[in-house]
Amino acid sequence: MTATLIDGIGLLATQDPGLGEIAWAALLVEGDRVAWVGRSADAPPADARVDAVGRCVVPGFVDSHAHLVFAGDRAAEFAARMSGQPYGAGGIRTTVDATRAASDEELGARAARLVTEMLRQGTTTVEIKSGYGLTVRDEARSLAVARMLTEETTFLGAHVVPPELADDPAAYVALVTGPMLEACASHARWVDAFCERGAFDADQARAVLEAGAARGLGMRLHANQLGPGPGVQLACELGAASADHCTHLSDADVEALASSRTVATLLPGAEFSTRSPYPEARRLLDSGVTVALATDCNPGSSYTSSMPFCLALAVREMHMTPAEALWASTAGGAAALRRDDVGVLRPGARADLVVLDAPSYVHLAYRPGVPLVAAVWRAGRPVV
Ligand SMILES: [Zn+2]
């Protein structure tokens, strides 16, 4: 196995609680893993050496919430919203029509392009949801497409009730928990539902998550995005890996998150793109809740694939410190996916890292919108 030493790292932000941040660091890559990290002066011998010329190195971003399998475009809806029209869950149906009409090849090519776009911006692990097919066939092929791009695939048949069953949501929940789950489970690691007024209520979301769990899928939940609701407490009660959005929280919601293993995944791209109030990250962090940041990349409410952009929003708009935002974008995302091999740079972790064209990760928020990603390594190989 070839050992490559990445040397001359001005600042290595490991996200490992024991290792912390190391100035003038080096990192040894062996195969697809990190073999050693420490001070440059103590670096072990290696077969090859790469000079980071004083740049900052951070773990590859872990984007734990993205909807990448779709067709169509909703730029007109965005423009209308920016001219004052409100956002509702129903806009999803526009994308459903386009997705059903698209071929597998088109869906695959579009999703692959977004994954590449993400990789160029430093994202080395991405979760991809279905949820724009809403038929047995279209959800199953959406997940088959996602499975070719990531191991973190999520069955989101319960995204919205499709128009053909709008009058009979109970029949749709029966379809999701029955034949649709049957067709999708082998392509999925997770099950998710959109627990929101206009989508699925607590009983329906519970039925979907419990059915998925019975098939061996991990649980995650879209919760409390558009208004207060039962989603967050349901996610905590069921032991879901994450409750996503968390924009409208009661004290009981915060308490439930703080006393559970459920990660609060904040998606500030959605509030940015819908011109809505941001989630209260400070309140969550100060209460001891584990917080992750993700893009929610989707064509309706957050069409950004950029973790650096979300990190900058978290710092500027949600009062997270740059260090907290970096952790939430890396190790926090990993926690939301119940992974300990990504989002951190320590011996044994997958060698996924970003070399920033900056002396510190603070520049990710300090210089928003600037392409600071100089290089990306995934599984021990330079890919950007
Ligand atoms: Zn979402």
Residues 21 and 81 grouped into a single domain: no
Using an 8 Å Cβ cutoff, are 262 and 234 in contact? no
Residue where the block lists tokens 């001070």: 39
pLDDT value, residue 1: 84
Going from the Cα of 46 to the center of ligand 1, the distance in angstroms, rounded, reads 43
316 and 373 together in one domain: no
Beta carbons within 10 angstroms of residue 75's beta carbon: 10
Domain match, 130 and 260 both: yes
Task: State the pLDDT at residue 6.
Answer: 98
Same domain, 155 and 277: yes
Last residue of a domain, one of 298, 316, 336: 336
What distance in angstroms lies between residue 293's CA and the mean position of ligand 1's atoms?
12
CA dihedral 20, 119, 70, 264 (to 10 degrees): 10
Alpha-carbon gap, residue 63 to 295, rounded angstroms: 7
> Ligand 1 mean position to 192 CA, how many Å?
9
Q: What is the pLDDT of residue 213?
A: 98
Are 66 and 50 part of one and the same domain? Answer: no
63 and 123 in contact (C-beta within 8 Å)?
Answer: yes
Give me the residue label for tokens 């949820």.
131
Say whether both 289 and 330 belong to one domain.
yes
Backbone angles phi, psi at 11, to 5 degrees: -145, 125
User: Do 150 and 284 sit in the same domain of this protein?
Assistant: yes
Q: Let me know whether 34 and 66 are in one domain.
A: no
For ligand 1, the distance from its centroid to the CA atom of residue 100, given in whole angstroms, is 19
CATH assignment at residue 377: 2.30.40.10
Which range marks the domain in which residue 195 is found?
Answer: 61-336
CATH number of residue 321's parent domain: 3.20.20.140
Specify whether 311 is located in the same domain as 371: no
pLDDT at 87: 64
142-168 burial code (b ≥16 CB/10 A, e <16): bbbbbbebbebbbbbbbbbbbeeeeee
Dihedral sign, CA of 96, 98, 101, 107?
A: negative
Quote the ligand 1 centre to 302 CA distance (angstroms).
9
Same domain, 265 and 315: yes
Give how many domains the chain has, as a whole number.
Answer: 2
- Do 188 and 124 lie in one domain? The reply is yes
Ligand 1 centroid, distance to 167 Cα (angstroms)? 24
The verdict on 311 and 208 lying in the same domain is: yes
Query: DSSP 3-state assignment of 225?
Result: coil
**pLDDT one digit per residue (tens) for the chain, 384 residues:** 899 999 999 999 999 999 999 999 999 999 999 999 999 999 999 999 999 999 999 999 999 999 999 999 999 899 988 998 876 655 788 899 999 999 999 999 999 999 999 999 999 999 999 999 999 999 999 999 999 999 999 999 999 999 999 999 999 999 999 999 999 999 999 999 999 998 999 999 999 999 999 999 999 999 999 999 999 999 999 999 999 999 999 999 999 999 999 999 999 999 999 999 999 999 999 999 999 999 999 999 999 999 999 999 999 999 999 999 999 999 999 999 999 999 999 999 999 999 999 999 999 999 999 999 999 999 999 999
